[in-house]
């Protein structure tokens, strides 16, 4: 038996349909412990096989449900490193520019260990950062006395569930009690992040996923086909799920002649404004905090017919994607149904050491049980 330590995955690509090639996620595991129970928490993910270690690190493959939902049986924190980093990984179905490798781990310390394995110069990737990888564990338990923490404006705004607000407020009070200097900070253009992201990300998806045509590699729909066009249409129709098709169509429209400057170009300008908002904020603060999501997990398929409601779940996480700064989500409580609530820390680019230190301080102070009991029927 093995114990799940971390999960590594990318965020967009082929949906796990019955006709598609098997999709899996790679997890780091420890020998000699019981396997962890969890469910995937991202909508229509593209799962990428990643090599993250050798020797006593083992791989375990887990299938993902088509309409996933967190069920709270294990509280897993997630980390999105700086976009500046490229990783020593072997990856298929690679992510777009606004995405990075993301990890789910049982603790902040595990996230730091895993990032230490992933980060670094890749001799086969000219875009990877040629810099020494810091020791993320060196100061992880040093505490946060004097740390400047900015609470992002809108954290307690409309759409944030009451239980989420209460848990976030309590966590912020704990940070203050641990010695952090807590103040509110404004990101004036963050309200436009969701709109910009859902133009930029689909545009990149439309371009990147054009390669999956059934000719060169990957899944091919069973024939016979009248011609190559029919084969490509059948392959893409069967291989991509509804959400991926939706993004491809939206991205293709945004990149089409006559609309590029009006949509994609404008979204990139908004992205620049958001990056500048973060730069100004980090001139005064070491880390920023907000809820990870305005709500707790919804049921599998509950929002499948309402993509906009599903997209709004990303309202607090998307700005970090667009600006390329690292963020980590730490479980900070449970709602009235026993579902976990996450607090998100955000740091400047390459500011992962401070990010881990802040997240570890809260995690240690909270001392949450990793497998909270859930009410029957949840």
Mean pLDDT, residues 347-368 taken together: 93
In the predicted structure, residue 61 carries a pLDDT above the cut 90: no
Q: What would the CATH number be for the domain defined by 2-196+261-366?
A: 3.90.1300.10
Percent of the chain residues topping a pLDDT of 70: 72
**Per-residue confidence (pLDDT) for residue 267, from 0 to 100:** 93
DSSP per position, 77-141: EEEE--TT--BS---SS---TT---EEEESSHHHHHHHHHHHBS--TT-TTS--SPPP-TTTTTT
CA dist., res. 292 & res. 42, Å (int): 13
CA dist., res. 134 & res. 244, Å (int): 37
Residue whose structure tokens are 């999105």: 80
Give me the chain's average pLDDT, please.
Answer: 76
For the stretch 262-283, pLDDT in tens is 899 999 999 999 999 999 999 9
Alpha carbon dihedral 319, 317, 48, 215, in 10-degree steps, equals -50
In the predicted structure, residue 213 carries a pLDDT above the cut 60: yes
Domain ranges within the chain, ordered by starting residue: 2-196+261-366
**Per-residue confidence (pLDDT) for residue 131, from 0 to 100:** 87
In the predicted structure, residue 14 carries a pLDDT above the cut 60: no
pTM value > 0.85: no
Mean pLDDT, residues 165-193 taken together: 95
In the predicted structure, residue 7 carries a pLDDT above the cut 80: no
Instruction: Give the residue ranges of DSSP H helices in the chain.
Output: 108-118, 162-177, 193-208, 228-239, 242-254, 266-282, 307-311, 318-323, 352-366
Mean pLDDT, residues 300-319 taken together: 84
């Amino acid at each position: 038996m093995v114990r799940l330590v971390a999960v590594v995955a990318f965020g967009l690509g082929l949906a796990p349909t019955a006709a598609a090639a098997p999709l899996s996620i790679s997890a780091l595991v420890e020998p000699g412990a019981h396997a962890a129970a969890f469910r995937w928490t991202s909508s229509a993910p593209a799962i990428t096989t990643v090599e993250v270690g050798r020797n006593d690190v083992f791989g375990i493959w887990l299938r993902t449900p088509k309409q996933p939902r967190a069920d709270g049986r294990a509280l897993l924190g997630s980390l999105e490193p700086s976009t500046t980093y490229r990783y020593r990984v072997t990856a298929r179905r690679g992510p777009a520019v606004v995405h990075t490798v993301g990890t789910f781990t049982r603790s902040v310390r595990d996230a730091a260990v895993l990032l230490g394995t992933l980060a670094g110069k890749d001799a086969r990737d000219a875009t990877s950062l040629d810099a020494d990888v810091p020791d993320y564990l060196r100061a992880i338990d040093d505490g946060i006395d004097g740390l400047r923490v900015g609470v992002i404006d809108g954290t307690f705004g409309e759409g944030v569930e009451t239980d989420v607000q209460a848990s976030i407020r309590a966590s912020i009070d704990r940070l203050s009690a641990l010695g952090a200097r807590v103040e509110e900070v404004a990101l004036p253009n963050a309200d436009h992040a969701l709109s910009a992201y859902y133009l930029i990300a689909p545009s990149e998806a439309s371009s990147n996923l054009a390669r999956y045509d059934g000719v060169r590699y990957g899944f091919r729909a069973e024939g016979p086909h009248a011609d190559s066009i029919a084969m490509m249409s059948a392959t893409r129709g069967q291989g991509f799920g509804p959400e991926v098709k939706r993004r491809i169509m939206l991205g293709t429209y945004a990149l089409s002649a006559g609309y590029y400057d009006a949509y994609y170009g404008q979204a990139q300008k908004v992205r620049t404004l958001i990056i500048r908002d973060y730069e100004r904020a980090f001139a005064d603060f070491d880390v920023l905090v907000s809820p990870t999501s305005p709500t707790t997990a919804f049921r599998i398929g509950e929002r499948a017919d309402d993509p906009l409601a599903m997209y709004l779940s990303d309202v607090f996480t998307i700005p970090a994607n667009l600006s390329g700064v690292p963020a980590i989500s730490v479980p900070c409580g449970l709602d009235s149904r026993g579902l976990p609530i996450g607090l998100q820390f955000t740091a400047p680019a390459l500011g992962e050491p401070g990010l881990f230190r802040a997240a570890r301080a809260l995690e240690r102070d909270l001392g949450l049980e990793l497998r909270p009991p859930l009410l029957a029927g949840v």
